[in-house]
Amino acid sequence: MVRKIMFLVIVLVYVNNGNAILHDYGDALAKSILYYEGQRSGKLPATQRVTWRKDSAICDGRDKGVDLSGGCYDAGDNVKYNFPMAFTITMLAWGVIEHGNSMGTELPHALEAVRWWATDYFLKSTDAAPDIIYAQVGDPNADHNCCQRPEDMDTPRTVYAVTPDKPGSEVTAAALLSNCAFLL
């Protein structure tokens, strides 16, 4: 039993030269929210802290007669996938609900991220027509075969939608759930 407890202590506490190193969760939170800002698409707000990132994909959806500018790129590429975006913003919104009073100076940035993704972008992707949910912007095959900044992208900005003829219950549920985040 003592060996198991010692093993747990060693696993849970990293020791460097005899000094325990504590994790700075506030710094991790700040960096993750800053990462979200770096993934923004569209006309960037004046509050954008990642200043080397510029406006991008401001014409998304125009070929379908809808404004799909905004939202965020997925995993460092230039495609906007609503399903993982909905998961990410739902987790962030849940974190704000549960721990917002402990977020300190990061709370306004977290709330802005929720608004940017959930209310601003997801409402655009679901309010354009009563039976259409725009679920993805960008051609993943073309995008994943090149490496370029969003400001410089020249890959197709193909718009994919969920319709009665092309259903997608997962994307529909995710869009509806993430739209609840605007209650923050």
Per-residue pLDDT tens over the stretch 37-88: 999 999 999 999 999 999 999 999 999 999 999 999 987 789 998 888 888 8
- How far is residue 70's CA from residue 42's CA, in Å, rounded to a whole number? 4
Q: Is residue 9 part of a domain?
A: no
Residue type present at position 18: G
Q: Is residue 5 part of a domain?
A: no
pLDDT range class, residue 171, cuts 50, 70, 90: low
Percent of the residues in the chain that have a pLDDT greater than 70, as a whole number: 80
Q: Is residue 11 part of a domain?
A: no
In the block, which residue shows the tokens 């997962």?
A: 170
| Percent helix, strand and coil across the chain, each to the nearest 5 | 50, 10, 35
- How far is residue 148's CA from residue 143's CA, in Å, rounded to a whole number? 9
Q: Which two tokens stand for residue 170?
A: 């997962």
pLDDT in the model for residue 176? 60
pLDDT in the model for residue 9? 47
pLDDT in the model for residue 2? 40
Q: Is residue 8 part of a domain?
A: no
Q: Which two tokens stand for residue 6?
A: 């010692």
pLDDT in the model for residue 178? 55
pLDDT in the model for residue 154? 86
Q: Is residue 13 part of a domain?
A: no
The tally of domains found in the chain comes to 1
Q: Which residues contact 12 (CB under 8 A, 6 or more apart)?
A: none
Per residue in 85-110, pLDDT (tens digit) is 888 888 888 889 999 999 999 999 99
pLDDT in the model for residue 1? 43
pLDDT range class, residue 179, cuts 50, 70, 90: low
Per residue in 3-12, pLDDT (tens digit) is 444 444 454 4
- How far is residue 179's CA from residue 86's CA, in Å, rounded to a whole number? 9
CATH code of the domain containing 108: 1.50.10.10
pLDDT in the model for residue 7? 46
**Domain that residue 61 falls in:** 26-183
